[in-house]
Chains A and B, each alone.
Chain A
Amino acid sequence: MNIINAIEQEVVAKNEGKLSFSVGDTVKVYFKIVEGTTERIQAYEGLVIAINNSGIRTTFVVRKIAYGVGVERIFPVYSPRVEKVEVIRKGRVRRAKLYYIRKKLGKRAKVKELIRKKEVSTAEKTPVASN
């Protein structure tokens, strides 16, 4: 098993930082499409509703509503055809898989934006010397 882990981790380590998003984020996936001899990059934007962690086979599911129809695409994270994944909006979610969103419509299918309070810099923290 250790040899297999080593082989898989080699690829995972090479692509470190590719999995820099989490469930609930709205992302734009730049996916390379090969048409005969030409190559082009297609962007696919949507909500990440699941990440399936499995070493080199790790995939994530991106859901969007296209012309009123729900569309879900599964991307392998470590595939060389996934050019990059851009995080457009961070989401605040409380579960690891957002499958419930499939049954929701309109505003209920929305994920709140995650707003992290910026850490107060040390310069502001120190009280002004009163003398």
Chain B
Amino acid sequence: MLGLIGKKVGMTQVFDANGRLTPVTVIKIEGNVVVAERTVESNGYEAAVLGSFDMKKNRVTKPYAGQFKDVCDPKKSLVEFRDFEQDVKKGDVLDVNLFKDISFVDVTGTSKGKGFQGGIKRFGHAGGRATHGSKFHRDLGGTAMCSTPSKVFKGHHMAGHMGVDKVTVQNLRVVRVDETLQVLMVKGAIPGPTSSTVIVKKAVKK
């Protein structure tokens, strides 16, 4: 599966050929180095390990730096891409050109944190009436049945922590691939705040 590590820059709009204004998310691709190769003989599966974003030297531990020995400087993000469709060798540097002939991608990121949230925001519960004597506003409501089963089933929708999840948005159209800026533009929004790390992969379902 073809893919790269990128950084979310933010959103803007571009005009397409028909004059339609398209909302796009800009993803910056800094040089992705092939740090290691996984092979069937040694690992039991095929994969390419890509690294991106330089690290401050004092933050690198010796065991972590060992992975990058003889390849490149230690990188902040390390991601394994299974069955990389392109022939790559250890030490190769991949750039945004990888997406030149690809029209749809999936983008994986970490969503923005929302803190502790109630059932309405977290799961879309309907909530109760605000006025006319109603005493049921944003509460949870019933959570279980009666003396049987006399317990709340696991995974019941309740208030709790929301956000900071791994989220994948599928089938985003690639609007433009800019070589000079090393930037990829996809139509629509992607998860996470700006300057967060995202993984861009060739769309699975297209």
Contact = CB atoms under 8 A, between A and B. Distances in A.
Q: Are A and B physically bound partners?
A: yes
A79 B18 CA distance: 9
A125 B12 CA distance: 52
B19 A79 contact: yes
B2 interface: no
Nearest to A6: B181
A115 interface: no
A81 B10 CA distance: 26
Among the interface residues A6, A7, A78, A81, which one has the most CB atoms of the partner chain B within 10 A?
Answer: A7
B9 A4 contact: yes
B116 interface: no
B15 A4 contact: no
Interface in B139-159: none
Given A3-B183, A4-B9, A11 B14 contact: yes
A7 B19 contact: no
Among the interface residues A4, A32, A57, A78, which one has the most CB atoms of the partner chain B within 10 A?
Answer: A4
Contacts of A7: 12, 14, 26, 178, 181, 183, 185
Contact of A56 (B11, B13, B26): B13
B115 to A, nearest CB: 26
Contact of B19 (A8, A11, A32, A57): A32
B164 interface: no
Contacts of A3: 9-10, 26, 28, 181, 183
B55 interface: no
Given A4-B9, A7-B26, A76 B21 contact: yes
Contacts of B183: 3, 7
Contacts of B181: 3, 6-7
Contact of A80 (B10, B12, B15): B15
Contacts, number: 43
A76 B14 CA distance: 12
Nearest to A8: B12
A34 interface: yes
A79 B15 contact: yes
Contacts of B13: 56-57
B143 to A, nearest CB: 46
A129 B15 CA distance: 61
A11 B15 contact: yes
A1 interface: yes
Contacts of B28: 3
Nearest to A56: B13
B21 to A, nearest CB: 7
Contacts of B40: none
Interface in B6-31: 9-15, 17-19, 21, 26, 28
A109 to B, nearest CB: 31
Among the interface residues B11, B15, B181, which one has the most CB atoms of the partner chain A within 10 A?
Answer: B15
Interface of B: 9-15, 17-19, 21, 26, 28, 178, 181, 183, 185
